[in-house]
Amino acid sequence: MLTPGHIAASYLIASGAKSLGFSISSSEILQVIIAGNVMDIDFIIGQFTGKTGEAHHQNTTHTPLGALLILPILWLIFHPTMPIVALFLIALLVHLILDDIGYWMYKLRFYKTPTNPQVNWLYPITKFHKNKLITGNKKVLNFYLVKAWPVATLELILVFTAVLLYLSSR
């Protein structure tokens, strides 16, 4: 999933907590959005290390272990309350789920285009797969929009829902 989908999902997580009666400020909503997107820092680093496109998912940051390592860093930066820490963890894990959803849609036969797993859920117990990866960012975007359109559609739905929710809360 692309950044707009991760932003929208994180916003919906924070807004969902607010609608359930949790006290959450605008600043804390922004913190949850940051938490839901911080894993993609490896995308920027990949521009220098050569891990672009799908390959940026083959870093520790894109694993549940990575999420658990990122969580205390977020805590040190933001000093959140425990409910916000829980939202950080949810946003981190949802990021992983959304990154891997195309693979599961393929495995469940929602579409026929072969797709590699994007998340190593059992890292470091299991190694990252050695399948050929799409390494060019433009090639990944083309694949995403043309062949993985169900995921792109899901992303549009997330973004549209988040924008509507935001506008209705103003």
Mean pLDDT computed over every residue of the chain: 91
Cα distance between residue 136 and residue 123, in whole Å: 25
Closest by CA to 167, choosing from 3, 5, 4, 8, is 8
pLDDT, tens digit (0-9, with 9 covering 90-100), for 21-49: 999 999 999 999 999 999 998 878 777 87
Which residues in the chain come in under a pLDDT of 70?
none
Q: Max CA-CA distance within the chain?
A: 48
Length of the chain: 170
Cα distance between residue 46 and residue 83, in whole Å: 32
| Half-sphere CA count of 107, side-chain side, radius 13 A | 8
